[in-house]
Amino acid sequence: MSQDVISELAASGTLRAGINLSNPLLVTGSTATGDPVGVSPDLARAIADRLGVALAYVPFASPGEVADAAGNDAWDIALIAAEQARAETMAFTPAYVEIEATYLVPEDSDFRSVEDVDRAGVRIAVSGRSAYDLYLTRTLKHAELHRGKGLGGAVDLFVSEKLDALAGLRPALNEDVEKLPSMRILDGRYTTVQQAVGTKPENKAAAVFLRDFVAEAKKSGLIAQLIARHGVEGRLLVAFDD
C-alpha cells in the first residue's frame, strides 16, 4: 500500500467514512452501539481493511449534509451518489451500485411516461438536495420542484399539497404505492442514481486507489455479496462499467 494513500486518507491511523443515513437501501439498520449497518458501511469497512487502518463512521442525516461537510475536514471518504454539482468539491469513483429514479403519480393522471411530466404548471414533490433533486433541478425545463425534508417530507408534501408527481427512487416508490391509495408508478426512468465513493479533490493518490478498489469490488463479486447480505437484491443493482 502506497504511503501517499495512507497519508491522504488515514494519517491518524483511522479512516473516517461519511455515511448518508437517509437511504434505507444502503443503510439498513444499526448495531447496538449505534454504528450504521448496510452495503455502504460494509464497503467503507472493506476499504479500511485494505488500508490496514481503523474505521470511524461519521453519520449524516442526508446526502446534502455529507456534501456540505466536504470542506470541513469531517470525513476522509464519503459514500453518497455522484452528481455533477457535488463533483465540484469531491473526487468520485465510478459507481458501485445504481438505483433507478422515476415518478409516482395519481391513478387518473394523464402522464404515461417520465417524459410527460416536464410540462408547464406541473408540480413535483422531491426530497430536497437528493441526487435526483440535483439532476431534476439541472434538467427540467417547465415543471416546478417542491422540496420536502427527506423522503418522508417529500411524500407528505405530495399528499398534503395534492401535487402532480412524486419524484423518487423506484424501490422506495414501490413501497409508497402500497401505502397511498389510487397511485401508480410511471414506466421508464429520468435518471439512474449512481452511488459512489468520494474523497477530497486534492487526494490524488487516494482517488486512484479508491477508483481501483471499487472496480475490483465489482469485478470480484464483493458488491453483489454485500447486496445479498443485506437483503436488498433487486432494489440495488451492481453498477457495471460500460
d(CA 120, CA 126): 17
Where residue 80 falls among pLDDT bands split at 50, 70, 90? very high
Contacts of 32 (CB under 8 A, 6+ apart): none
Q: Across residues 132-160, what is the average pLDDT? A: 95
d(CA 219, CA 66): 27
Are 222 and 238 contacting, i.e. CB atoms less than 8 angstroms apart? no
**What would the CATH number be for the domain defined by 98-191?**
3.40.190.10
In this structure, is the dihedral angle defined by the CA atoms of residues 45, 31, 238 and 186, taken in order, positive or negative?
A: negative
CATH superfamily of 3-97+194-238: Periplasmic binding protein-like II (3.40.190.10)
Predicted confidence (pLDDT) at residue 15 exceeds the cutoff of 80: yes
Cα-flanking dihedrals φ and ψ of residue 167, to 5°? -85, 140
Predicted confidence (pLDDT) at residue 154 exceeds the cutoff of 90: yes
Per mean pLDDT, which of 38-42, 70-74, 129-133 is the most reliable? 38-42
Predicted confidence (pLDDT) at residue 1 exceeds the cutoff of 80: no
Q: Across residues 130-153, what is the average pLDDT? A: 95
- pLDDT, residue 242, reads 52
Q: What is the mean pLDDT of the chain?
A: 95
Predicted confidence (pLDDT) at residue 127 exceeds the cutoff of 90: yes
d(CA 189, CA 170): 9
- pLDDT, residue 210, reads 98
Q: Across residues 14-30, what is the average pLDDT? A: 95
Q: Where are the domains of the chain?
A: 3-97+194-238, 98-191
- pLDDT, residue 151, reads 86
Where residue 202 falls among pLDDT bands split at 50, 70, 90? very high
Where residue 165 falls among pLDDT bands split at 50, 70, 90? very high
Are 136 and 123 contacting, i.e. CB atoms less than 8 angstroms apart? no
In the chain, the percentage of residues whose pLDDT exceeds 90 is: 91
